[in-house]
Amino acid sequence: MRFPAVELRLPEWVEEFVPPDGAYPTPEDRMRLAVELSRENVRRGTGGPFGAAIFERDTGRLIAPGVNLVVTAGCSAFHAEMVA
């Protein structure tokens, strides 16, 4: 390959932490998840205090969680919202 590849992986704990069929019907529920992700990211030492999540607007179904991985991955682009 001529150019370097960039690979992004969420910490393993994220899959265990986020319920597979979790429902987040209100904006408050959705924000709560993002805040909990940020806290857990710091608690586990896998990144900075930033969490993000992308949801389907009408259903509240979680599409993708994200946490800050800038320092642990050594990539300045890996902010939580970019990871999600």
pTM of the entire predicted model:
0.90
Residues paired with residue 64 on neighbouring β-strands, in sequence order: 54
Helix, strand or coil, per DSSP, at residue 43: helix
31-43 per-position pLDDT tens digit: 999 999 999 999 9
Most confident of 3-12, 27-36, 75-84: 27-36
We find that the CATH architecture of domain 17-83 is 3-Layer(aba) Sandwich (3.40)
Residue 5 has pLDDT above 90, yes or no: no
The structure tokens 């999540």 sit at 53
Angle at CA 33, nearest 5°, toward 64 and 48?
80
Residue 14 has pLDDT above 70, yes or no: yes
Instruction: Report residue 6's pLDDT band, with 50, 70 and 90 as the boundaries.
Output: confident
Determine the pLDDT at residue 15.
94
